[in-house]
Amino acid sequence: MDLHMNGRTALVTGAGRGIGLSVVRSLAAEGVRVVGAARRPTPELRATGATAVAVDLADPEGAGHLVREAVAELGGIDILVNNVGGGDGGLTGGFLDTTEAQWAEVVGLNFFAAVRVTREALPALLESRGAIVNVSSTGARVPHGGPIAYTTAKAALTAFGKALADEFGPRGVRVNTVSPGPVRTAMWEGEGGHGAELAASMGISHADLVAGLPAAMGMVIDRLVEPDEVASLATYLVSPLAAATTGTDHLIDGGAVKTA
């Protein structure tokens, strides 16, 4: 399907791997010129043809640097995908096990990074009457479905997107949210990721945890969500074909969340 995006420009954060890398590939396939931001740009990101920018968005100064680089490279920004997130390492305990430093790291990366990048990018997006997609999580709706600091930060991100849509919709900027369930990324499948740590804390093998995850999360499909599936949804939402869609939160979770 032609999404009528050829020649548009996009900034994607957390673009080195996983969902972010898939979003870059999906946008590039539609003829979009992309700047992909990553703490450590990967060969896979560079192979997409996107302009890779190395930046640590946990640093409050990183957002301004990134957006200046993107505007200089692209001449403007039509699309922003706030995908950067994570910081879930070591968060297998509960509320009383989560330290102040862990709260600051996780909320900073999963919420404040999007706040800062959006604030810096909004002048360009207002000029282009552009579109934003924030990548949240089903954990925002089902807070017990992940580490408390992570799901709390994602809930804030989802609310942030709705507030932005209401404020800036009349000025031509659309804002939507994509909320995946468990996705086949390093967070669950990587040897040092949250899935491996959770398996160890439960006394089961990492392979068994991943295999049982769809059922444990209440998914009605027998597999994890693919990054490309999330990317396809995000790409549609920033396209002109979704011109009347704003302020929405789209689940892509294999039927895990049962409420509206």
Same domain for 96 and 198, yes or no, is no
| Residue 257 belongs to a domain | no
Tens of pLDDT, residues 220-253: 999 999 999 999 999 999 999 999 999 999 999 9
CA 45 to CA 50: how far, in whole Å? Answer: 7
User: What is the spatial distance between Cα 199 and Cα 93, in angstroms, rounded to a whole number?
Assistant: 12
CA dist 168 and 57 (Å) reads 24
Domain assignment present for residue 4? The answer is: no
Cα 170 from Cα 119, distance rounded (Å)? 17
Number of domain units in the chain: 2
Strand order in the sheet with 33-38: 51-54, 33-38, 9-12, 79-82, 131-135, 174-180, 249-252
* Residue 21 and residue 102 in one domain: yes
CA distances from 209 to 130, 202, 225, 251 (A): 40, 9, 15, 23
Please indicate, yes or no, whether residues 124 and 238 belong to a single structural domain of this protein.
Answer: yes
Does 85 lie in the same domain as 195? no
Q: How far apart, in whole angstroms, are the C-alpha atoms of residue 179 and residue 233?
A: 10
Residue 258 lies in a domain: no
What is the pLDDT, as a whole number, of residue 87? 64
* Contact partners, residue 163, CB within 8 Å, separation at least 6: none
pLDDT of 143 reads 82
Three-class SS of residue 52?
strand
Q: Is residue 2 part of a domain?
A: no
**Does 260 fall in a domain?**
no
189-218 exposure pattern, b = at least 16 Cβ within 10 A, e = fewer: beeebbbbbbbeeeeeebeebbeebbeebb
Residues 75 and 134 in one domain: yes
Does 36 map to a domain?
Answer: yes
At residue 34, the pLDDT reads: 98
Are 14 and 134 in a shared domain? yes
Are residue 210 and residue 246 in the same domain, yes or no? no
Q: Name the residue type at position 209.
A: L
Same domain, 121 and 201: no
pLDDT tens digit sequence for 144-156: 767 899 999 999 9
Q: Tell me the CATH number at 75.
A: 3.40.50.720
**pLDDT at residue number 91:** 78
Whether residues 196 and 177 fall in one domain: no
Helical packing angle, 148-168 and 100-107, nearest 10°:
40
Q: Is there a single domain that holds both residue 73 and residue 133?
A: yes
pLDDT of residue 78: 98
Residue segments in the chain with a per-residue pLDDT below the cut of 50: none
Could you tell me if residue 69 is inside a domain? yes
In the residue annotation, 236 being an active-site residue is answered as: no
Count of residues in the chain: 260
CA distances from 21 to 42, 100, 174, 241 (A): 9, 31, 22, 22
In the numeric block, which tokens belong to residue 55? 């930046």
Structural domain of 199: 183-224
In a domain, 150, yes or no: yes
Does 116 share its domain with 75? yes
Q: Which amino acid does the sequence have at 184?
A: R
The alpha carbons of the chain give a radius of gyration, in whole angstroms, of: 17
Catalytic residue, chosen from 150, 168, 188, 236, is 150
Are 41 and 136 contained in the same domain? yes
**pLDDT value for 80:** 99
How much is the pLDDT for 180?
A: 97
